[in-house]
Amino acid sequence: MPQLVVKDLSINFGGITALVNVSFQVEKGEIFSIIGPNGAGKTTIFNCINRIYTPHRGTILFQDQDLLRYKPFEVSKLGIARAFQNIALFENMTVLENLLLGRHHRMKSGVMAGGIFWGKAKREELSHRKRVEEIIDFLEIEAYRYQIVKTLPYGIQKRVELARALCMDPFLLLLDEPVSGMNVEETEDTARFILDINEELGTTIVLVEHDMRVVMDVSDRICVLNFGEKIAEGRPQEIRNDPLVIRAYLGK
Amino acid sequence: MINGNFKTNYEDEIKIFQTTFVKFWLVILFVGLIIFPLVADRYFIYLCNLCGIAIIGALGLNILTGYTGQISLGHAGFLAIGGYTSAILSTKLGIPFWLAMPLSGIMAAMAGMIVAIPSLRLKGLYIAITTFAFGFIVDHLIIHWESMTNGPSGITAPRPSLGVFVFDSDKSYYFIIIVMVILATGFARNLFRSRVGRALIAIRDRDIAAEIIGINLTKYKIQAFSISSFYAGIAGSLMAHYFDVITFENFTLMLSIQYLAMIIVGGVGSILGSIYGAIFITLLPELIRLLTDLFRQEYPSLTTRFADLKSVTFGLIIIIFLIFGPKGLYGVWRDIKVYWKNWPFTY
Ligand SMILES: Nc1ncnc2c1ncn2[C@@H]1O[C@H](COP(=O)(O)OP(=O)(O)OP(=O)(O)O)[C@@H](O)[C@H]1O
Ligand SMILES: [Mg+2]
């Protein structure tokens, strides 16, 4: 059974048709990429999965559960995490606080426990801090723990956002252009992290990316969108030589 | 990089009072707070009590507006609910202050939840308007529900007592207030270094991202409203049992605006800022009075203009802080601290 099944997804905004009958399946443990020119509808697919948008037609199944029955905040509990195209960190907080927020849905203490901060809440805070530190080590951001996010360079912020998503211990990780705006070195680091996450943590990854080298290097399979329609799907080799894909990218 | 002993490390890190230096000054502060009423003039103790009540109310407003980003123009309404609940419970049902005070907090918190519901789908200015309307509804209720509230003539709540001891002096009431201020400050401080507080800040900064990482916006906005109004309810109750009489005039829109001024002047989204702002705004009229007294010889007309002067200065100070010091007194204080820490290496 595939981990994620997207079937006949359609959505339009006013006159703009953003997605038309898009279907694909992502297997457990796979790195699955979605590519396509600007405005093709890639981010819109993520927004449907996260339930920010409700598609007009179609279904999304995650581990056999109908995602459309859930609210946005519940999707994370099912095990889906996301890093945004435009950095969406809580920029007035420290890196540590951002990462602890990634643990939010796995923690329990409420207002009273937090306000008193004795015993239970404190123990919970410490145990989750431990997991956060593991992720910090994993993504090599030790130096930035206590820094306020908005003071950090762009590339590091991108990595912190990846870290926040990982702190959620997701089964499925949605990455929306994780290397956009990065220099060559940062791009290589990130590509390596994506592979490490996939191999060491066993996380299924859906990747949206414009950088074709990264896409070709890390993906198991690729799906190509153009004007909201799926025009191809296959292994990197197949996609590279697909005439329809070449036309979509070079045709205009 | 990380040594084996995780627990003690992180535990040290999340300690509320980080250094012995801070601890030292806190002890001094604490001793000072206890000695103060024993040596101070009655009028100063009275002012100090007003500051204490304002601190609790300002902390409450900062939790909702400063930390969660929901602008409230109806804070006075929650204080009124707290004050009147406490007064009604103790006069009509004979419930002792020690029970009436928490109950008035709970009553205000429930009102807060109700106000939160229309605010859930709204943002920014619209919430300001909802809460603004709420303030007027409360005023209206107080004036017209005479069987409960005595209408416009106001209501008198008894001073608290413990056995035979009655807290009827400013000095004895001071100790009740100071305990409540410490509890309120400690609770707020803890809240924002743990899960719920972080979620509230996350909602303020980026609500969509907050939702995607699993924060239930509805739940936490309602919680922010109820915590905030619980604080206001407690402050209202403390007012009711301290003042000889409370009327709807104690809880007008002007009071809501004063509370907003406190957190703007003190520092939006800051515990210490709430304290500074509450003290500053509470003492401001006294300061203006002092100044007008000083110049009375030369300009006798000043005294009659006191009320005008008060509101003009008020407006001016808010505007000045909004333009020049958006982080409030707390921000100024922090900048100075950083400056002295680095001095003389200021580059
Ligand atoms: N909330 C919205 N309201 C109106 N139009 C929208 C909305 N969200 C997306 N669209 C439109 O849907 C289309 C697809 O947008 P989407 O953001 O999914 O593109 P994308 O493939 O992620 O592009 P890019 O590579 O530039 O990020 C675009 O034409 C966009 O303008
Ligand atoms: Mg996009």
Instruction: Confirm whether B308 is domain-assigned.
Output: yes
Question: Is this model's pTM higher than 0.95 or not?
Answer: no
Residue of B1, B188, B214 with shortest CB distance to A105: B214
Task: Produce one character per residue of B135-159: b if its CB has 16 or more CB atoms within 10 Å, e if not.
Answer: beebbebbeeeeeebbeeebbebbe
Q: What is the CATH number of the domain that holds B96?
A: 1.10.3470
- Work out which ligand 1 atom sits closest to the CA atom of A210: 25
Q: What's the pLDDT tens digit per position in B150-192? A: 888 899 999 999 989 999 999 999 999 999 999 999 999 999 9
Domain total of chain B: 1
For residue A220, give both structure tokens: 């198991």
Range of the domain at B223: 43-342
How many Å apart are CA B105 and CA B82, to the nearest integer?
A: 6
Instruction: Confirm whether B23 is domain-assigned.
Output: no
Question: pLDDT tens track of chain B, all 347 residues?
Answer: 444 444 456 776 766 666 777 788 888 998 999 899 888 899 999 999 999 999 999 999 999 999 999 999 999 999 999 999 999 999 999 999 999 999 999 999 999 999 999 888 887 788 889 999 999 999 999 999 988 898 888 999 999 999 899 999 999 999 999 999 999 999 999 999 999 999 999 999 999 999 999 999 999 999 999 999 999 999 999 999 999 999 999 999 989 999 999 998 898 899 999 999 999 999 998 888 887 778 777 777 767 777 777 778 878 887 888 777 767 777 777 777 666 665 555 44
Spell out which residues of chain B touch residue A77, defining contact as CB-CB under 8 Å.
214
Instruction: Confirm whether B155 is domain-assigned.
Output: yes
Which residues lie below 8 Å from residue B321, measured CB to CB, with a gap of 6+?
A: B264, B265, B328
CA distance A50 to chain B (A): 7
| Cα–Cα distance list, B71 to A38, A71, B132, B277 (Å) | 38, 26, 10, 17
Residue of A76, A93, A111 with shortest CB distance to B196: A111
* φ/ψ of residue A34, rounded to 5: -115, 120
**What ipTM was predicted for this assembly?**
0.91
Q: Taking the CA of residue A77 as centre, how many other CA atoms within 13 Å lie in the half-sphere pointing to its CB?
A: 14
- Residue A239 pLDDT more than 50? yes
Instruction: Confirm whether B102 is domain-assigned.
Output: yes
Q: What's the pLDDT tens digit per position in B267-303? A: 889 999 999 999 999 999 888 888 777 877 777 776 7
Spell out which residues of chain A touch residue B195, defining contact as CB-CB under 8 Å.
100, 104, 107-110, 114, 121, 124-125
B1, B5, B194, best to mutate vs chain A, most A CBs in 10 Å? B194
- Considering only the top CATH level, what class is A1-79+170-252? alpha beta
Instruction: Confirm whether B33 is domain-assigned.
Output: no
Could you state, in order of their start, the residue ranges of all structural domains in chain A?
Answer: 1-79+170-252, 90-167
Instruction: Confirm whether B306 is domain-assigned.
Output: yes
Instruction: Confirm whether B217 is domain-assigned.
Output: yes
List ligand 1's pocket residues with C-beta within 6 A.
A 13, 16, 18, 36, 38-44, 85
Q: Are A191 and A214 in contact (CB under 8 A)?
A: yes
* Inter-chain touch B217–A73, beta carbons under 8 Å: yes
How many Å apart are CA B259 and CA B278, to the nearest integer?
A: 8
